[in-house]
A and B are shown apart, each in its own frame.
Chain A
């Protein structure tokens, strides 16, 4: 069975600082994809970044990077130069191709302080 764990219910970061949001996963499938989504208070899930299990390099998208440690089964999200607009819930998710659902973690609420 696939499982995603986010152990930080809430995180605080000072504006302009970097922050790491933790995510660990569990699967026996060798092929899988890992995703991070941002959900502001409006409710929409915004896709941030994707990492494939066979990707050799860590994914980056602007201020977002994914610290992928396959042996540890972790896929932490790093947000650099935090902005006030980054305050939101952040969800880690995993999809295994042979299944068709995507499993989400419980989320981390990030608050950026001015």
Chain B
């Protein structure tokens, strides 16, 4: 399978615990995005990487959230001291910019439930 993969697919944790999610993008894609999606809503942008550089972060991304892409390949999203409001689907997408066109391809998501 050469698509975007995410691990784990589901995570249940207790409030206050730390969680880490992984995303493996399509291999030749240089951009990687993280989104959060709550029930009944469209995805909301969190952050993105161009190769290993984190170029933009949304105001939604509180200081409890941190993302890395150390070698410009896979990425991790960590949430520290989880809160019940963090319960959501976390989606990763990757893209390859060609001229003015860029299409993002999404992974299956990690569904987080904070108890």
Contact = CB atoms under 8 A, between A and B. Distances in A.
Interface of A: 4, 31, 33, 35, 37, 42-47, 50, 52, 91, 93, 95, 97, 100-107
Interface of B: 33, 40-45, 48, 55-56, 58, 89, 91, 93, 100-109, 111
Interface of A is mostly: strand
A91 B75 CA distance: 25
A83 B25 CA distance: 30
B48 A44 contact: no
A45 B106 contact: yes
B58 A101 contact: yes
B70 to A, nearest CB: 20
B111 A33 contact: no
Given A31-B100, A50-B103, A101 B41 contact: no
A44 B107 contact: yes
A47 to B, nearest CB: 6
